[in-house]
């Protein structure tokens, strides 16, 4: 099946075509790029990043959120970025296991993606995957990140809305986290809100978030329970409200995505093996200068 045919089937909502196109994009196959170049740019589909420390209940919250949207007749895609297997570089966790009650739903698409060593908690091809899903007719895209702590800030450069999920016990850690994950939040969620200290922790988050309020958006702090669905409706409303209120945010995201793709294209012109060999040769010369080397390389690009 060529790129034109695959793109056509994808735009008709064919899940098999979508899965095939994602695999091509993930593996840097030329057909994957051809498909992406045939699709139109869309920014009308909310992309929601769900992030936070391990054990915060991100998966149960994603499950509850997806269930609400599916019940409303929407098509939902969930991208779960998992740690990379050291043996086959694939995804270690299977999110069909985590979403056992929903994965057969005809309007739900689940894709587990390996982080492949990315310290930001995301897959290197996350932008391309989101664009493929948008063109397959999905109404909501949810990205659940690995959960690697403070380095998990790359999601803010991909998602229209970043939801930082925490639990009441994180109150003692919040001061050390606020310079990392804390600063990317568009919405704060205190999950497992039936636990002691949930209300007081939510008040602390509200105090910390005040300094990041703007005229366009005041960061909400919501209490939820992913296991029962409590507070999930309010979370869904906050996500859609944020997406509709901040068109400037989407323009900035477009710029960031363009820069990312340009860097990727530039790096592909210089295979690592050839670049390493050239660098070793140049470094052996007595007048070697790394900055001149890089500048000359950039001019060739």
The span from the CA of 136 to the CA of 139, in Å, is: 9
- The pairing of strands 187-190 and 221-223 is parallel
- Residue 11 gets the label, from left (phi > 0), alpha (psi -120 to 50) or beta, of alpha
- Flag the least confident range among 82-86, 97-101, 221-225: 82-86
Answer whether residue 6 shows pLDDT above 70: yes
Looking up tokens 């809100």 gives 193
- The pairing of strands 108-114 and 161-166 is unpaired
In this prediction, residues 49-59 reach a mean pLDDT of 88
SS3 of 197-253: CHHHHHHHHHHHHHHHCCCCCCCCEEECECCCCECHHHHHHHHHHHHHHCHHHHHHH
In this prediction, residues 63-89 reach a mean pLDDT of 81
Kindly state the tokens that stand for 132: 């493929």
pLDDT of amino acid 213:
87
Answer whether residue 284 shows pLDDT above 50: yes
Q: Are 232 and 219 in contact (CB under 8 A)?
A: no
pLDDT of amino acid 92:
42
Looking up tokens 């939801």 gives 163
pLDDT of amino acid 150:
43
Q: Are 201 and 177 in contact (CB under 8 A)?
A: no
Q: What is the pLDDT of residues 169-225, one digit of tens each?
A: 876 666 555 556 677 889 999 999 999 999 999 998 998 888 888 888 999 999 999
The percent of residues in the chain predicted with pLDDT above 90, rounded, is 52
pLDDT of amino acid 177:
58
The span from the CA of 111 to the CA of 216, in Å, is: 33
pLDDT of amino acid 34:
95
Q: What is the pLDDT of residues 241-277, one digit of tens each?
A: 999 888 888 888 889 888 888 888 887 778 888 889 9
Its pTM stands at 0.85
85 in helix, strand or coil? coil
Residues 6+ apart with CB under 8 A from 163: 48, 49, 50, 51, 185, 186, 187, 188, 189, 235, 239
What's the chain's length in residues? 301
């Amino acid at each position: 099946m060529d790129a034109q045919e695959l793109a056509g089937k994808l735009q008709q909502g064919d899940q098999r075509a979508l899965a095939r196109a994602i695999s091509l994009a993930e593996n840097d196959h030329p057909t994957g790029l051809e498909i992406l170049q045939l699709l139109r740019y869309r920014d009308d589909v909310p992309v929601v990043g769900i992030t936070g420390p391990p054990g915060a209940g991100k998966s149960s919250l994603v499950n509850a959120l997806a269930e609400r949207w599916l019940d409303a007749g929407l098509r939902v895609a969930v991208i779960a970025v998992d740690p990379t297997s050291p043996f086959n570089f694939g995804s270690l966790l299977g999110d069909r296991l985590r979403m056992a009650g929903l994965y057969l739903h005809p309007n739900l698409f689940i894709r587990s993606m390996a982080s492949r060593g990315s310290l930001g908690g995301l897959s290197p091809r996350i932008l391309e995957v989101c664009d493929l899903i948008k063109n397959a007719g999905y109404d909501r895209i949810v990205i659940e990140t690995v959960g690697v702590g403070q380095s998990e800030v790359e999601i803010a450069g991909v998602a229209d809305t970043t939801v930082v999920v925490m639990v009441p016990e994180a109150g003692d850690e919040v001061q050390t986290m606020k310079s990392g994950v804390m600063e990317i939040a568009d919405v704060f969620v205190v999950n497992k809100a039936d636990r002691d200290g949930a209300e007081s922790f939510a008040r602390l988050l509200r105090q910390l978030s005040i300094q990041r309020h703007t005229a366009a958006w005041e960061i909400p702090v919501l209490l939820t329970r992913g296991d029962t669905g409590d507070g999930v409706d309010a979370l869904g409303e906050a996500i859609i409200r944020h997406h509709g209120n901040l068109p400037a945010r989407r323009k900035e995201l477009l710029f960031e995505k363009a820069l990312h793709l340009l860097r990727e294209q530039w790096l592909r012109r210089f295979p690592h093996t050839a670049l390493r060999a050239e660098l070793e040769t140049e470094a052996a010369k007595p007048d070697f200068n790394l900055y001149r080397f890089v500048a000359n390389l950039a001019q060739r690009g």
